[in-house]
Amino acid sequence: MTAQPPPGTTTPPAPTRRRRWAGLAVLSASLLVVAMDMTVLNVALPDLSARLRPTAAQQLWIIDVYSLVLAGLLVPMSALADRWGRRLVLLAGFTVFGGASLLVLLADTPAAVIAVRALLGAGGAMIMPTTLSMIRSLFPDPRERATALGVWAATSSLGMAVGPILGGLLLEHFTWHAAFLVNVPVMAAALIAGLLLLPEVRDPAPGPWDAPATVQAVAGMVGLVWAVKHFAKVGAGDPVGWAVLAAALGVLTWFVLRCLRRPAPLLDVRLFARRPFTAGVLAALTSMMAMAALLLLVAQWLQLVLMLSPFMAGVYLTPMAAGAVVASPLAPWAADRIGARAALAGGLAVAGTGLALLFAAPAAVPVVLTALLLLGCGAGALTIASAIIMSGTPAAKAGNAAAIEETAYDLGNVLGVAILGSIAAVVYRGRLDTSGITGPASAELGAARESLGAALEIAERTHSTELASRAGTAFTASLSQTGLIGALVMFTAAAAVFALVPRDLDLHTQHH
């Protein structure tokens, strides 16, 4: 006799076409808000700092705690969703994210803001992988799913690019609280719509909860992200950073070995045995590295070198969002005609070309805008990457696949800012020539090497237009060199993906 799954663990029939696409709208709206939260604080931080006077360490925690908590909880929350129900965890994420955003009204100290940001990270960890795994369940037809994943990828890219625009617009009329409060109505609407539109789905046989693996996953990912961020701030010679990095890698290795030994692991790392799956994760990781780093550096260049307002700087970043919005839904169409391998590798190469343009002529605004457009178009490759990851994964393992892909996104964001941002800082320090500058003291000239922002503050205080001019030139040179290194990373990733993905891979092949 065939064993029946426990009550309440079966997957319901697929919703009607109208409910499927309405459900996708709910998932996309919530993802947009979470993605925006990764970048919106960059614009709100100056006003927040002026009002609450956080210490330098508190400022770092306000920025970093969101991604630390998000990275640490992605895997456990995905595993929890497989067991308790993906809709349940998603709706809980909406509640936590919206509630934390509302709590900002009570946050009148830096410590309270840090706590709010940590809660937002926990809510984001519930939302991000669950939106992706829900798409796998909402759209059983591979062709519809490919289009839905295109919308999902475009939304994710759009959120990162729109964050600074919305933040700049809000900060021109309101205080820093608005950057948080804008989340509340969206999450409230998503909660109501999710209750009405989204079906409940869970793994019919998830196995027992693995508490030691949960601790390993959280500790390993938090340690890894913290170490990378720490190196970006204090340099690669810090022994504390190396100790934490070694410990994090050791814990994560232990976690992987534990998952390989267990019949029902917290995270099915055996999915990496499929070369196309590995290629999709690699594409997601490198694409996010490039986008995060370029958004950070170009936003600074626009505001501190061209002296644009935060809102106008956000407007100048829109070509990246426009490219992603156009290219992502078209990517499945391209994959059908030239093959998934060519479409995925080609998208990464297009993004690499955009970065290479920055090396060719970084000081020309049209070139920078073209580079942003190409990087956004290259983000269309994320649609193919998601389709390879999710379509080739059995439905019961959708949560695992989503957790791995979202971890790649978050880690790519952190690595992009940390590694490429650090390279930019090193080049800036090396290119800033302070010889012969009069006005600032020697100690101030040394401090000006730390960052463009510091140099401009010193230049304004000492009325040194020469220091401001040279600092802007040095930062432009750092943007150029970072573009070259980013291009090499993307071209290498494109070659690796081309080697890993079979030429005849069919995205419409269904795995059960």
**Sign of torsion over alpha carbons 125, 131, 133, 134:** positive
The phi and psi torsions of 295 (rounded to 5 degrees) equal -60, -45
Counts for the chain of helices (H) and strands (E), in that order:
21, 0
DSSP helix/strand/coil, 254: helix
Q: What residues does each domain of the chain span? A: 17-200, 211-267, 269-512
pLDDT recorded at residue 315: 81
Where residue 8 falls (left for φ over 0; alpha for ψ -120 to 50; beta otherwise) is left
End-to-end Cα, the chain, rounded Å: 21
Query: Distance between CA 274 and CA 298 in Å, rounded?
Result: 37
Contact call for residues 191 and 33 (beta carbons, < 8 A):
no
Amino acid symbol at 286 = T
Radius of gyration of the chain (CA): 23
pLDDT recorded at residue 3: 39
Contact call for residues 182 and 341 (beta carbons, < 8 A):
no
**Sign of torsion over alpha carbons 397, 127, 494, 253:** negative
pLDDT recorded at residue 392: 66
Q: Which two tokens mark 90? A: 């998603």
Nearest to 164 by CA among 321, 364, 327: 321
Render 127-195 in DSSP notation, one character per residue. HHHHHHHHHHHH--SHHHHHHHHHHHHHHHHHHHHHHHHHHHHHHTTS-TTHHHHTHHHHHHHHHHHHH
Nearest to 493 by CA among 365, 355, 313: 355
Per-residue pLDDT of the chain (512 residues; tens, 9 = 90+): 333 444 444 445 567 778 888 888 888 888 888 877 766 776 677 677 778 888 767 777 887 788 788 888 888 888 888 788 888 999 999 999 999 999 988 888 889 999 999 999 899 889 888 887 788 778 877 778 777 877 777 777 777 667 777 777 777 778 888 888 888 998 999 899 888 888 887 777 667 788 888 898 889 988 888 887 777 677 777 888 899 999 999 999 999 899 888 887 887 888 888 888 888 889 888 888 887 788 778 878 887 888 887 778 778 888 887 888 788 778 878 888 888 888 889 999 999 999 999 888 767 889 989 998 998 888 777 788 887 877 767 666 766 777 788 778 777 877 787 778 778 888 888 888 878 787 777 777 777 777 787 788 888 888 888 888 888 888 888 888 888 998 999 999 999 999 998 887 776 665 44
SS (H, E, C) 426-491: HHHHHHCCCCCCCCCCHHHHHHHCCCHHHHHHHHHHHCCHHHHHHHHHHHHHHHHHHHHHHHHHHH
pTM of the predicted model as reported, rounded to 2 decimal places? 0.76
DSSP state of 270: G
Distance of CA 472 to the CA centre of its chain: 28
pLDDT recorded at residue 12: 53
Fold classified for 269-512? Growth Hormone; Chain: A; (1.20.1250)
Query: Distance between CA 64 and CA 62 in Å, rounded?
Result: 6
Query: Distance between CA 157 and CA 41 in Å, rounded?
Result: 17
Could you tell me the CATH superfamily of domain 17-200? MFS general substrate transporter like domains (1.20.1250.20)
Task: Scan for tokens 């100056």, then name that residue.
Answer: 46
Contact call for residues 122 and 101 (beta carbons, < 8 A):
no
Contact call for residues 127 and 94 (beta carbons, < 8 A):
yes
Q: What is the four-CA torsion angle of 354, 360, 363, 365, rounded to 10 degrees?
A: -40
17-200 and 269-512 share one fold: yes
Contact call for residues 133 and 78 (beta carbons, < 8 A):
yes
Query: Distance between CA 234 and CA 229 in Å, rounded?
Result: 9
Query: Distance between CA 488 and CA 65 in Å, rounded?
Result: 30
pLDDT recorded at residue 9: 41
